[in-house]
């Protein structure tokens, strides 16, 4: 993600060049991009893994499939690590809302606060039942243990909804009036019913299943590429791949419906998505291309298709950026490229999943095909790229507004140049966390391959030494 | 009681829950750090992992609860505190991040060397975090957070009150953790470990008691408003803290661990509520009162709905989880 940030920086600096810019603006932006971009990947696992685990756990507990139960146990241990760093990086965001954007939280804290409160509630429920689920192995009947996953899955859904309602509110603010510069008539419940919330929620929820589904499936696809072709790998592949399939096939429809709204609510964002510098009717679909000195260079234009996709019409135009005052325009190149990256990867996913199920329908098993397995392995990082690109498209596309049409991002930022230090420190810490997580997850996988099911106590003595189990002393009770 | 006072009281209940439940988790870091080498420390470290593993994530959410309630109910005071207290808050946050991740990493570390590294990070950051959260509380309680404009990024918290606040927070966390771990070890049948923990907890308890009560004296000059509250309205709580603290030490001496755990919670809860009651009616001492800091009424009412839902949806499973961890079955080690 670092390269994304560094390429983003020059665009972001030019953004509000002619407006007075507080010293805390640029570092706050970068900080938010780094910490949110990092957290959102883990959040996907937090949202989708309980449901995916529930399927294998159910097979194991209610159908006596020991192999499935083993998968549930292993995925549960993986989720313990991912949830832990997801929880702490989520806390970081909680602090950052106040530290980086005092103008936003000081002014609108009581408008959007309730949505955060409900999201916090959801997370509370998930954390409690996660503790129970993880520590219940060997202490609780697996059939009883299964029910611990249900509140986790439900709170994953509700948490996504509530946090997305805040973002949707930033795109389509409701629930307050501004009279003489004061925020009045606050209705915090209106945040949940703003125009965008349902589609944005669905879009993100599906994305979570794409990321988690492809990531887990990719692990087992990689195993099959190395010749490990047992039932364990097939089941470990199929369950998450099925979730990823449903999500990948539904996502284009949801994305399309969401895009249609953008034409009405944020024309500048749509114009940047479509690289529409001028209003053309009907509008073409521009593949690739960037704006250099006010001209589109290097794009492939497909006539009329832009109007069809963005407006559901053969004639309605995409409103051009020339109709938007310069100071209200987002950085068009970043938005356009990020948007097309997302769409491109999403289309690729549709091809991959259709190829598998189509072949299977005709009696061919693509799991025997090395190229297909490689493609699935590639889908895991690509799903993360698509996720990041989608967020960059919508967030940078909303600029220069933090709350669309109401508050500019430079009004939300504080005047604190020291934030650059914070950004440096955060980069170091998050790099360390990433290395730690990778080390630990790889070590878990290696031990499992070596047949160590119960990982030894990491607190010493060295594995292999005659271990004095504390349980031994328990016999004296 | 007015609406904003009710919301402030619930928010403070979150502070209390975090101080007691999260505090016990944080305090475990001290015992982990001082457990000794790999071999002799293994039993204690395994015990700590069992004791806080199932609950630390849930206990951590109290902090998020407090943050969210604060910015929803009292947005301007929240922004002001975040602005001025950016340094101690960031240092606390760093501790929170390193502690949670290192704890999870250690459990599944690849080698003993890695486990040792993650263990030190976990234990060290467990001590750093309460100190800076306590220092933050000290800055607010001594009236050093202005409502408008950032002021004293360093001077607001490098003060006697903040240092005392930090030390009190660290001490109470360790004391609580000691009392919980002793009881857990006894229930898990690790009598030898329980004896070691008992001795250490007694020492920690004495030191913490001294810090808490000796620490009151400098407040008179450094935090006069808080001092007036502590010697006036909050005096009964200060006395309860004293009595409960002494009782805990006595119960530890006679090995009544289950009861000692209870009195330790009472002692720490009274210390923390003493601070809360002592600084009333101020939210940011000498700057803005709870009543004046309150945001929109509709939001305060909405928060009451959220609190009601939390009482129905969160508390029963939380109590169930905490009860599970206190059962014989969950106390014995597994894998």
DSSP state of A453: -
* Structure confidence by residue, pLDDT tens digits, B161-217: 999 999 999 999 999 999 999 999 998 888 899 999 999 999 999 999 999 999 999
Confidence bin at B279 (pLDDT 50/70/90)? very high
Q: Structure pTM? A: 0.89
What pLDDT score was predicted for residue B158? 92
Residue A23 has pLDDT above 90, yes or no: no
Tell me chain B's radius of gyration from C-alpha atoms: 20
A7 has a pLDDT exceeding 80: no
Interface of A with B in 75-134 (CB under 8 A): 77, 80-81, 83-85, 87-92, 94-95, 97-99, 102-103, 105-114, 116-121, 123-125, 127-132, 134
Higher pLDDT, A82 or A457: A82
pLDDT value of residue A296: 81
Q: Which residues of B touch A22 (CB under 8 A)?
A: none
Using pLDDT thresholds of 50, 70 and 90, give the confidence band for residue A459: low
Per-residue pLDDT averaged across A141-165, rounded? 93
pLDDT at B331 over 80: no
Identify the residue among B63, B104, B326 best suited for mutation to test binding to A, counting A beta carbons within 10 A and taking the highest. Answer: B104
Q: Give Cβ neighbours of residue A87 (< 8 Å, ≥ 6 apart).
A: A123, A127, B57, B60, B100
pLDDT, residue B225, reads 93
* Contact between chains at A436 and B82 (C-beta distance less than 8 A): no
What's the mean pLDDT in A299-322? 85
Inform me whether the pLDDT recorded for A5 exceeds 90. Answer: no
pLDDT at residue A255 greater than cutoff 70: yes
Whether A362 has its CB under 8 Å from any CB of chain B: the answer is no
Whether B53 sits inside 8 A of A131 (CB atoms) is yes
CA distance B199 to chain A (A): 20
pLDDT, one tens digit per residue, over A341-371 is: 999 999 999 999 999 999 999 988 888 889 9
Q: Which of A92, A118, A130 is opposite residue B57, by nearest beta carbon?
A: A130
Does residue A445 belong to the interface with chain B, where contact is any CB pair within 8 Å?
Answer: no
Query: Residue B303 and residue B295: Cα distance in Å, rounded?
Result: 11
Split at pLDDT 50, 70, 90, the class of B326 is: confident
pLDDT of residue A368: 86
How many beta-carbon pairs under 8 angstroms link A with B? 282
Query: Which residues in chain A have their CB less than 8 angstroms from residue B78's CB?
Result: 98, 105-106, 109
Q: Over pLDDT 70: what percentage of chain A?
A: 91
**Which tokens belong to A324?**
């938007």
CA–CA separation, B152 vs B143, rounded Å?
Answer: 12
- Predicted pLDDT of residue A25: 86
Nearest to B129 by CA among A428, A91, A427: A91
**Minimum-distance CB partner of B64 among A120, A186, A433:** A120
Region B219-237: what's the mean pLDDT? 93
CB contact under 8 A, B189 and A92: no
Measured in angstroms, the CA of A252 and the nearest CA of chain B are apart by 34
CA angle (B1, B267, B206) in 5-degree steps = 150
Assign B332 a pLDDT band (cuts: 50, 70, 90).
low
Q: Report pLDDT digits (tens) over A388-437.
A: 999 999 999 998 899 998 898 988 888 777 788 888 988 999 999 999 99
Average pLDDT over residues A157-165: 93
* pLDDT tens-digit series, residues A186-208: 888 988 888 788 999 999 999 99
ipTM score for this prediction: 0.89
The 10s digit of each residue's pLDDT in A63-85 is: 989 999 999 999 999 999 999 99
- Report the C-alpha gap between B117 and B125 in whole angstroms: 12
Q: Under an 8 A CB cutoff, do A139 and B330 touch?
A: yes
């Amino acid at each position: 993600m670092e390269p994304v940030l560094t390429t983003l920086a020059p665009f972001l600096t030019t953004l509000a060049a002619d407006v007075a810019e507080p010293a805390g603006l640029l570092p706050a932006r970068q900080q938010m991009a780094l910490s949110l971009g990092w957290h959102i990947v883990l959040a996907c696992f937090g949202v989708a893994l309980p449901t995916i685990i529930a399927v294998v756990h159910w097979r194991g507990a209610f159908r006596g499939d020991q192999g499935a139960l083993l998968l549930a146990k292993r995925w549960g241990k993986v989720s313990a690590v991912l949830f832990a760093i997801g929880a702490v990086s989520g806390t970081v965001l909680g602090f950052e809302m106040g530290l980086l954007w005092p103008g936003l939280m000081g002014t609108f804290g009581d408008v959007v606060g309730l949505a955060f409160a409900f999201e916090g509630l959801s997370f509370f429920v998930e954390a409690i039942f996660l503790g129970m689920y993880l520590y219940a192995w060997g202490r609780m009947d697996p059939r009883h243990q299964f029910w611990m996953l249900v509140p986790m899955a439900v709170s994953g859904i509700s948490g996504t909804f509530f946090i997305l309602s805040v973002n949707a509110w930033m795109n389509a603010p409701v629930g307050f009036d501004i009279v003489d510069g004061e925020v009045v008539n606050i209705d915090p419940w209106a945040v949940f019913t703003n125009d965008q919330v349902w589609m944005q929620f669905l879009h993100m929820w599906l994305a979570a299943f794409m990321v988690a589904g492809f990531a887990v499936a990719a692990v087992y696809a990689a195993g099959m590429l190395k010749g490990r072709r047992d039932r364990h790998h097939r089941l470990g592949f199929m369950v998450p791949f099925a979730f990823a399939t449903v999500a990948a096939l539904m996502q284009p429809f949801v994305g399309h419906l969401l895009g249609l709204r953008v034409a009405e609510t944020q024309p500048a964002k749509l114009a940047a998505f479509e690289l529409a510098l001028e209003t053309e009717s009907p509008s073409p679909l521009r593949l690739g291309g960037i704006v250099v000195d006010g001209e589109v260079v290097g794009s492939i234009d497909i006539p009329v298709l832009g109007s069809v996709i963005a407006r559901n019409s053969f004639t309605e135009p995409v409103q051009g950026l020339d109709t938007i005052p310069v100071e209200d325009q987002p950085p068009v190149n970043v938005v356009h490229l990020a948007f097309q990256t997302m769409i491109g990867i999403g289309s690729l996913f549709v091809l991959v999943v259709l190829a598998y199920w189509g072949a299977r329908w005709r009696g061919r098993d693509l799991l025997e095909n090395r190229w297909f397995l490689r493609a699935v392995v590639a889908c895991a990082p690509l799903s993360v790229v698509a996720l990041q690109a989608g967020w960059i498209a919508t967030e940078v596309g909303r600029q220069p507004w933090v709350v669309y049409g109401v508050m500019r991002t430079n009004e939300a930022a504080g005047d604190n140049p020291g934030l650059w230090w914070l950004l440096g420190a955060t980069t170091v810490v998050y790099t360390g966390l990433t290395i730690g997580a990778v080390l630990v997850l790889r070590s878990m996988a290696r031990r499992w391959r070596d047949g160590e099911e119960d990982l030894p106590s990491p607190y010493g003595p060295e594995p292999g030494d005659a271990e004095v189990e504390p349980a031994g002393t328990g016999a004296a009770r | 009681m007015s609406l904003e006072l009710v919301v402030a009281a619930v928010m403070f209940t979150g502070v209390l829950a975090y101080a007691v439940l999260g505090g016990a988790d944080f305090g475990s870091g001290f015992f982990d750090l001082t457990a000794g080498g790999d071999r002799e420390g293994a039993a204690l470290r395994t015990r700590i992992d069992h004791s806080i593993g199932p609950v630390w994530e849930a206990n951590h959410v109290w902090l998020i609860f407090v943050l969210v309630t604060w910015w929803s109910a009292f947005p301007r005071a929240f922004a002001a505190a975040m602005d001025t207290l950016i340094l101690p808050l960031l240092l606390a946050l760093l501790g929170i991040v390193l502690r949670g991740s290192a704890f999870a990493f250690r459990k599944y570390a690849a080698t003993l060397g890695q486990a040792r590294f993650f263990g030190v990070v976990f234990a060290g950051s467990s001590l750093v975090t309460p100190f800076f959260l306590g220092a933050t509380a000290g800055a607010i309680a001594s009236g050093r957070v202005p409502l408008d404009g950032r002021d004293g990024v360093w001077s607001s918290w490098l003060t006697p009150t903040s240092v005392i606040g930090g030390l009190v927070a660290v001490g109470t966390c360790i004391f609580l953790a000691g009392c919980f771990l002793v009881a857990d070890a006894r229930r898990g049948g690790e009598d030898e470990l329980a004896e070691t923990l008992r001795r250490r907890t007694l020492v920690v308890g004495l030191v913490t008691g001294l810090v808490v009560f000796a620490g009151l004296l400098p407040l008179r000059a450094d935090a006069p408003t808080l001092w007036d509250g502590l010697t006036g309205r909050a005096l009964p709580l200060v006395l309860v803290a004293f009595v409960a603290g002494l009782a805990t030490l006595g119960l530890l001496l006679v090995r009544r661990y289950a009861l000692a755990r209870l009195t330790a919670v009472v002692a720490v809860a009274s210390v923390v509520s003493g601070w809360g009651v002592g600084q009333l009616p101020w939210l940011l001492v000498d700057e803005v009162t709870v009543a004046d800091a309150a945001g929109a009424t509709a939001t305060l009412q909405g928060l009451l709905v959220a609190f009601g839902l939390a009482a129905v949806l969160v508390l029963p499973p939380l109590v169930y989880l905490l009860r599970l961890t206190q059962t014989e079955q969950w106390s014995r080690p597994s894998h």
